[in-house]
């Protein structure tokens, strides 16, 4: 583990402090006592599929030092059936029970160095999360339901009082009570995953607003989302009376003000949520014909879009709609968005492109750990310190991303705005030293 260069980091802290402090007042940064919180949430998404191509097992959260900097790990994702139930299925496109709890984890990938034994009821990622919690007892693990690909049937699940009750019951039974499919000598069975998950994170993308093609959408989703949260809170509290624990309920919320208005009853939803994570990325990407920022703190000068998206636009949007600032957790991307075929010269920003940049897993999308290696290797790092974003450009290919300096600036924004903390999508994008997660930990340390 390489130590931080304290002198350079101190300079970055001072500069970021100056930039945040000098910002004009907005709804988000006008808090009366912005730097005084009992503690900050530091929420990281662990992806089910990260164990494959990215070779990111749960163990890396421990060996990299990330786990000790986190308060919550959200497991992405849990699926919903067409009739509105939580379920686990290994069918194509429906889930990966093998990764979740069936795969025998070898000793070299195990959090405690002990391989899964034949006949165990709990293997895979779920078993490793249980071991991670044993080493980090203050860490909370939540199952995240939905996501971009699996929000198809949320509207069905939320539609009626009966459907909401059945949906919530099925989720608590499967994940919190741990009653997994299987058993009788195979992995799974009644209570196999009991204690792995502490709560529920709802990633409905989005109520009454188009997400992935094929999603079921109804105008009444807006009110039904609030009712669904109420039902989750009721049943989680009832279950908590048997476990003598509080089981958290969180939700992932959009950055687009139009989506906020279409799908959410602003202030009401926070009655039931412990906190909400806010999308702080994907403002622009390779689906557009112009290279742009995907996660800037503020809208950059010269932006070709008006109105445009930014972290500040998203946070101010939620506060204006009644969200309590101390329940808003800002999303931080551990990946970049890229374009190639850039023409127009200059530093590449706001210049036309021919398409998304080639990348490891998906065109136009690359993990931070890969992007950090480009700096100085044909690419120049550019910064807009006022707008709070950085990008890489080699004259042809452009990547917008968050490096440690940008992340630290955002942490200071969180403190000044009186927000609840930071969220990470996703943990497998960081390097082996958990550089970005450690930067979040440093920036949100309570003094």
Catalytic residues: 205
DSSP assignment letter at 206: -
DSSP assignment letter at 89: -
Angle (CA) 201 207 208, round 5°: 180
Judged by phi (left if over 0) then psi (alpha if -120 to 50, else beta), residue 376 lies in left
Task: Determine the Cα–Cα distance for residues 36 and 436; give it in Å rounded to an integer.
Answer: 23
Residue 277 bridge partners (DSSP):
252, 329
Q: How many CB atoms lie within 10 A of CB 107?
A: 10
Q: Is 282 helix (H, G, I), strand (E, B) or coil?
A: coil
Distances, alpha carbon 364 to alpha carbons 24, 182, 281, 350, 392, in Å: 33, 39, 14, 16, 13
| Contact status, residue 422 vs residue 329, Cβ threshold 8 Å | yes
Task: Determine the Cα–Cα distance for residues 317 and 299; give it in Å rounded to an integer.
Answer: 14
At 224, list the tokens. 């039904």
| Contact status, residue 332 vs residue 407, Cβ threshold 8 Å | yes
Helices (H) and strands (E) in the chain, counts: 13, 15
The residue written with tokens 């539609």 in the block is 159
| Contact status, residue 250 vs residue 273, Cβ threshold 8 Å | yes
HEC string for 105-163: CCHHHCCCCCCCCCCCCCCHHHHHHHHHHHHCCCCEEEEEEECCCCCCCHHHHHCCHHH
What radius of gyration do the chain's Cα atoms show? 21
């Amino acid at each position: 583990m390489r130590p931080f260069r304290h002198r350079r980091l101190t300079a970055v802290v001072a500069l970021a402090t100056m930039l945040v402090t000098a910002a004009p007042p907005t709804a988000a940064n006008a808090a009366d006592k912005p730097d005084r919180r009992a503690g900050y949430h530091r929420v990281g998404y662990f992806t089910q599929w990260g164990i494959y191509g990215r070779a990111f097992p749960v163990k890396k959260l421990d060996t990299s030092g990330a786990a000790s900097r986190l308060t919550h790990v959200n497991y992405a994702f849990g699926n919903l059936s067409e009739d509105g139930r939580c379920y686990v299925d290994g069918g194509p496109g429906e889930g990966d029970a093998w990764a979740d709890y069936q795969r025998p984890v070898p000793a070299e990938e195990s959090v405690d160095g002990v391989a899964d034994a034949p006949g165990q009821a709990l293997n895979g990622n779920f078993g490793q999360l249980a071991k991670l919690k044993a080493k980090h007892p203050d860490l909370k693990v939540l199952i995240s339901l939905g996501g971009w690909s699996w929000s198809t049937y949320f509207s069905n699940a939320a539609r009626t009082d009966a459907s909401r009750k059945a949906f919530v019951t099925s989720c608590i039974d499967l994940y919190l009570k741990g009653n997994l499919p299987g058993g009788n000598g195979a992995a799974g069975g009644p209570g196999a995953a009991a204690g792995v998950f502490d709560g529920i994170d709802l990633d409905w993308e989005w109520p009454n607003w188009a997400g992935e093609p094929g999603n079921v959408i109804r105008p009444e989703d807006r009110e039904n989302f609030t009712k669904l949260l109420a039902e989750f809170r009721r049943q989680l509290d009832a279950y908590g009376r048997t476990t003598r624990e509080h089981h958290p309920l969180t939700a992932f919320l959009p950055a687009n003000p139009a989506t906020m208005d279409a799908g959410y009853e602003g202030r009401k939803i926070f009655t039931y949520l412990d906190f909400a994570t806010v999308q702080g990325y994907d403002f622009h990407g390779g689906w557009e014909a112009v290279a742009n920022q995907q996660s800037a703190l503020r809208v950059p000068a010269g932006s070709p879009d008006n109105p445009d998206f930014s972290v500040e636009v998203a946070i101010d949007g939620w506060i204006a709609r009644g969200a309590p600032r101390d329940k808003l957790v800002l999303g931080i991307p551990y990946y970049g968005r890229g374009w190639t075929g850039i023409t127009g010269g200059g530093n590449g920003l706001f210049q036309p492109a021919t398409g998304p940049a080639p990348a490891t897993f998906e065109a136009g999308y690359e993990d931070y750990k890969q992007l950090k290696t480009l700096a100085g290797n044909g690419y120049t790092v550019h910064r807009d310190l006022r707008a709070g974003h950085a990008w890489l450009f080699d004259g042809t290919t452009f990547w917008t991303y968050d490096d440690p300096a940008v992340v630290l600036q955002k942490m200071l924004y969180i403190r000044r705005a009186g927000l609840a903390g930071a969220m990470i999508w996703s943990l497998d994008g960081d390097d082996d030293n958990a550089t970005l997660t450690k930067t979040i930990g440093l920036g949100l340390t309570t003094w």
